[in-house]
Amino acid sequence: MFRTGFLGYPTTFMLDFVVCALALVVPLLLYSLWLVKARRQYRSHKRLQITLGIILLAAVSAFEVDVQMVHGGWENIVARQGLEDAALTAKLNSVRPWLLVHLVFAVTTPFLWATTIVLALKRFGANPVPGPHSRLHSLLGWASTLDITLTSITGLAFYYVAFVQ
């Protein structure tokens, strides 16, 4: 059951699952920022950011194990499209740069996200309200937001060129 995708393309369950998670994370993040900036609901923002971090970490870890260990790499998933050898090689070479750009953002995001959360938990304390940590948190928060948004956009773009097109 978990060996095939559910979005209608020749992929895997976990690949489609992570693509959905990446598409969902940006609107949820915007909602979290609206909670802070418009509603001043800092506790809800904190809860949502931690939940998003845990879900993303779990989804991406499960995805990596699935792609690398179960399917033996993304190239083997592209090979499901039944292309002839030369066409498959050409396709792999043409989509690889898209993956490399995606990886720049995908690899840096967890570090930035973890730093933002750990420092916020330490410095805002149990009852988060604006304070001395606000300046640095703002910087880290917007950098994390930009990084995850670019991870999402480039991830969806890679999915499109590698598995849909």
Spatial contact of 161 and 11, defined as CB atoms under 8 Å apart? no
Burial of 122 (0-12, 13-18, 19+ CB in 10 A): exposed
Residue at token pair 């930009």: 146
Range 53-112, binding ligand HEM (CB under 6 A): 53
Please tell me whether residue 117 binds ligand HEM under the rule CB under 6 A.
yes
Range 142-161, binding ligand HEM (CB under 6 A): 142, 144-145
Spatial contact of 128 and 43, defined as CB atoms under 8 Å apart? yes
Instruction: Point out which span in 20-28, 48-56, 70-78, 99-107 binds ligand HEM (CB under 6 A).
Output: 48-56
For ligand HEM, give the closer residue by CB, 61 or 134: 134
Closest CA to 108 of 157, 148, 65: 148
User: Taking the complex as a whole, how short is the minimal distance between the CB of residue 45 and ligand HEM, in angstroms?
Assistant: 5
Distance CA 112, CA 102 (A): 16
Q: For residue 57, what are the CA distances in angstroms to 11, 28, 42, 106, 116?
A: 21, 15, 22, 11, 15
Measured from each CB, the residue nearest to ligand HEM is 141
Answer for which of 12, 21, 46, 74 binds ligand HEM (CB under 6 A) is 46
Answer for which of 11, 49, 109, 151 binds ligand HEM (CB under 6 A) is 49
Binding site for ligand HEM (CB under 6 A): 33, 36-37, 42, 45-46, 49-50, 53, 113, 116-117, 120-121, 124, 128-130, 134, 137-138, 141-142, 144-145
